[in-house]
């Protein structure tokens, strides 16, 4: 055990005498009591996943962060299943901080990092073993107390029992026994419950985070209030890389309640006793900016055109993302029947419900702090805080708050807002809450990068795809957002390129490559990451190939998926659900196959078009999803529904444009998401394959783009190849 710290009463066990179970590095199990730790003051590993109080409360910790995706229920369900816990007695706690080798998600390199639908995938085995190990301790301890062989002792939810004698002990009663047996055999896969014995996994016990949210009890970063806390607002540079050259602030300082005004490298911050005062004073500032940033020349339209040219330039080298066979040779072979098409997507903003906020209280020596932040990564946020104060991570006491949406916006944003909150708190020597308004966030957002796609394929005499080349031109997300991961990635940016490998399709010669463009805007992962743009382009192109081959889109995909039983299962399921190909009069169906990591899905959109206005209306959307094992099926359905809405909003309406380095949108009146009355009927069916559980919170996004584009072609004979499908673009297409 390499990472240990003194155990605090608040941090791990909720009441004196509780029994804690720690899974150490390497999978070994350790058991301890809070009262003994507190009295003796000896070090104890701060890595317990579960504790049990004498009052029968089961406290389960989870390493991911809750942002509305339901992970605070689904991860504890896994542990509770193996523990045989009474779910009505379960309380959950989000891990605030801790050593990565203990709490970290192996899928994210051992970081506390919630993104890419990695929570279930990464923690499934860990939580199962933690629950099974704790259950084994309870069984051996009860067996010793009864004087019977442990092999005769079993469990039911919340109870350890010896059937031969009829004796029973609640979990809390076992936790209160004077001697706890810790020398027990290590847990192996054979010790985990068989699927037939599951009581919780695969059921719908509700979501633990919902009651507090519906009652208004949940505290988000933006809600938090501390004694003596000041409030801060920032006037941020209009263009990345610019600084305040001069500041006229006399009027702002004259407002009652203004504490101070501070010039930062990229902003001017107002600190006040009240938020309303901070905002009012900020609006009185007169600031001249340096105006020398190289981003002053950024223009989203021109930059996308440059990306399109780069994608189409076969002589321009790209970083290989996926390769099988020899696609370049097959594409250049004499007599090859080639099909080529270009697709593109534009910048999109995350549009999370809760505006950004951070609360910081810096210690008197300026080298430590207590912070409160709704973040998708405790690890990244703690590192950013330590860097801001030029200190070490152990001096940061971190509180990970629930979030009102994330979608990638709250992954590494601590470099901006938490960094500034810490500097302001240190300056005024009191707690500070820094809030960014919606306009601040839109103007200074980290956006999904614009992408350009050149797709080329070869069809043989029977109409089969024998080669496919997919070139994606885009700046790297890793290089800007996660430079340390970029250094280790060898030029391979999964946040841009995932999905381009087309792994389920039986294409013998394939090359997917990333043409890395110069970054011209702040870029970040967006829900669906690379799968969204890449599946849109590929699945639109698949319909084009089907047309060129004289095949219908369904039969063409079934042929490509001939060696993927899981892929065929979701495709056939969504066809049955939607009665694909038989829409009502005046409407059309569009089909798309999609994936997200190891999760497979297929979608059908039913839509109509107002040819006079160019307005697309999606009336119904069907989705079939195979996540492997569905831990919490109803929540998975809800996440898929949310992903479909998110995807439809991005492809029909949402668009960030940049001119002279400045974002042209500012709020939901000019960056308009899908409205409630525009949301279609959505039906989701889970098709379990029994494969290992995989990320499913984003699978709804990748299937939407091509399903709508292909539906428009079925309706009009015209192809949409650039997102978003705004009415003006549709009208231009119809007139072409």
Closest CA to 133 of 13, 12, 29, 26: 29
Buried b (16+ CB within 10 A) or exposed e, 539-554: bbbbbbbbeebebebb
Ranges in the chain, pLDDT < 50? 1-16, 23-28, 36-47
Is residue 602 a contact partner of residue 623, using CB atoms and an 8 Å limit? Answer: yes
Angle between helices 553-560 and 531-548 (to 10 degrees): 110
* Predicted local confidence at residue 692, as pLDDT: 93
Q: How far apart are CA 710 and CA 712, in angstroms?
A: 5
Q: Let me know if 166 is exposed, middle or buried by CB neighbors in 10 A (0-12, 13-18, 19+).
A: exposed
Q: How far apart are CA 289 and CA 550, in angstroms?
A: 59
* Predicted local confidence at residue 31, as pLDDT: 60
The fold of 19-210 is: Aldehyde Oxidoreductase; domain 4 (3.30.365)
Is residue 102 a contact partner of residue 95, using CB atoms and an 8 Å limit? Answer: no
pLDDT in tens, 173-202: 998 898 988 888 989 999 999 999 999 999
- DSSP H or E run through 104: none
Q: How far apart are CA 56 and CA 97, in angstroms?
A: 26
The listed CATH number (3.30.365.10, 2.60.260.20, 3.10.129.10, 3.40.50.2300) that belongs to domain 221-293+356-435: 3.30.365.10
Instruction: Indicate if the alpha-carbon torsion angle 38, 128, 62, 28 is positive or negative.
Output: positive
Domains 19-210 and 300-347+447-735 equal at CATH topology level: yes
The listed CATH number (1.10.10.10, 2.40.40.20, 3.10.20.30, 3.30.365.10) that belongs to domain 300-347+447-735: 3.30.365.10
Helix (H, G, I), strand (E, B), or coil: what is residue 52?
A: strand
Is residue 150 a contact partner of residue 143, using CB atoms and an 8 Å limit? Answer: yes
* Predicted local confidence at residue 25, as pLDDT: 40
Helix ranges (H only) for 355-482 are: 378-389, 417-428, 438-443, 477-481
Domain ranges of the chain: 19-210, 221-293+356-435, 300-347+447-735
Q: Give the pTM.
A: 0.93
Strand 432-435, strand 357-362: pairing: antiparallel
Strand 588-596, strand 662-663: pairing: unpaired
* Predicted local confidence at residue 102, as pLDDT: 80
Is residue 413 a contact partner of residue 440, using CB atoms and an 8 Å limit? Answer: no
Cβ-Cβ contacts under 8 Å for 678 (sequence gap 6 or more): 617, 652
DSSP 494-528: HHHHTTTT-TTS--SEEEEEEEEPPP-S-B---TT
- DSSP H or E run through 620: strand 615-626
């Amino acid at each position: 055990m390499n990472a240990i710290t003194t155990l605090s009463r608040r941090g791990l066990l909720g009441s004196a005498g509780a029994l804690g179970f720690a899974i150490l590095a390497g999978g070994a199990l350790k058991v301890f009591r809070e009262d003994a730790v507190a009295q003796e003051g000896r070090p104890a590993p701060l890595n317990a996943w579960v504790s049990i109080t004498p009052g029968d409360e089961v406290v389960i910790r989870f390493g991911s962060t809750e942002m509305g995706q339901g992970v605070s229920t689904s991860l504890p369900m896994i542990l509770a299943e193996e523990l045989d816990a009474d779910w009505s007695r379960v309380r959950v706690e989000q891990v605030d901080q801790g050593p990565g080798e203990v709490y970290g998600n192996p899928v994210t390199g051992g970081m506390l990092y919630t993104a890419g639908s990695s929570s279930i995938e990464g923690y499934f085995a860990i939580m199962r073993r933690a629950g099974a190990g704790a259950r084994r301790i309870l069984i051996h301890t009860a067996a010793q107390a009864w004087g019977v062989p442990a092999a005769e002792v079993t469990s039911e939810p919340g109870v350890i029992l010896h059937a031969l004698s009829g004796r029973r002990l609640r979990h809390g009663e076992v936790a209160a026994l004077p001697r706890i047996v810790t020398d027990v055999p290590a847990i192996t896969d054979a010790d985990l419950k068989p699927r037939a014995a599951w009581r919780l996994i695969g059921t719908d016990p509700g979501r633990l985070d919902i009651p507090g949210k519906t009652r208004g009890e949940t505290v988000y970063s933006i809600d938090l209030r501390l004694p003596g806390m000041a409030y801060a607002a920032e006037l941020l540079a209009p263009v990345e890389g610019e600084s305040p050259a001069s500041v006229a602030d006399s009027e702002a300082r004259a407002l009652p309640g203004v504490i101070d005004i501070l010039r930062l490298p990229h902003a001017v911050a107002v600190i006040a006793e009240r938020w309303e005062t901070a905002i009012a004073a900020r609006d009185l500032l007169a600031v001249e900016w340096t105006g020398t940033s190289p981003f002053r020349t950024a223009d989203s339209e021109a930059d996308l055109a440059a990306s399109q040219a780069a994608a189409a330039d076969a002589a321009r080298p790209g970083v290989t993302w996926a390769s099988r066979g020899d696609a370049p040779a097959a594409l250049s072979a004499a007599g090859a029947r080639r099909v080529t098409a270009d697709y593109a997507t534009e910048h999109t903003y995350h549009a999370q419900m809760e505006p950004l906020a951070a609360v910081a209280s810096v210690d008197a020596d300026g080298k430590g702090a207590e912070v409160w932040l709704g973040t998708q990564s405790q690890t990244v946020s703690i590192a950013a805080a330590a860097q801001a104060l030029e200190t070490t991570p152990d001096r940061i006491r971190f509180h990970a708050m629930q979030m009102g949406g994330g979608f990638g916006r709250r992954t590494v944003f601590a470099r901006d807002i938490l960094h500034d909150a810490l500097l302001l708190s240190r300056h005024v020597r009191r707690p500070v809450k820094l809030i960014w308004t919606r306009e601040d966030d839109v103007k200074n957002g980290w956006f999904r990068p614009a992408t350009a796609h050149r797709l080329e394929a070869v069809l043989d005499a029977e109409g089969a795809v024998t080669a496919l080349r997919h070139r994606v031109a885009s700046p790297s997300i890793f290089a800007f957002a996660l430079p340390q991961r970029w250094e280790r990635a060898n030029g391979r940016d999964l946040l841009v390129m995932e999905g381009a490998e087309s792994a389920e399709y039986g294409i013998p010669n394939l090359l997917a490559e990333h043409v890395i463009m110069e970054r011209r805007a702040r870029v970040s992962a967006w829900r669906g990451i690379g799968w969204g743009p890449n599946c849109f382009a590929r699945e639109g192109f698949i319909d084009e190939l089907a047309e060129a081959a004289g095949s219908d889109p369904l039969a063409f995909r079934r042929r490509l998926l001939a060696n993927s039983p899981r892929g065929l299962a979701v495709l056939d399921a969504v066809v049955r659900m939607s009665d694909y190909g038989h829409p009502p009069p005046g409407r059309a169906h569009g089909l798309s196959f999609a994936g997200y990591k190891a999760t497979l899905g297929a979608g059908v959109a039913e839509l109509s078009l107002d040819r006079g206005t160019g307005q697309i209306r999606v009336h119904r959307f069907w989705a079939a999803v195979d996540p492997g094992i569905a831990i919490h099926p109803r929540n998975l359905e809800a996440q898929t529904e949310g992903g479909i809405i998110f995807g439809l909003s991005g492809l029909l309406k949402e668009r960030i444009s940049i001119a002279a380095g400045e974002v042209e949108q500012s709020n939901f009146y000019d960056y308009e998401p899908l409205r409630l009355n525009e949301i279609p009927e959505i039906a989701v069916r889970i098709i379990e394959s029994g494969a290992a559980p995989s990320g499913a919170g984003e699978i709804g996004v990748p299937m939407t783009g091509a399903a709508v584009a292909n539906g428009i072609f079925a309706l009009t004979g015209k192809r949409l190849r650039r997102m978003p499908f705004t009415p003006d673009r549709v009208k231009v297409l119809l007139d072409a």
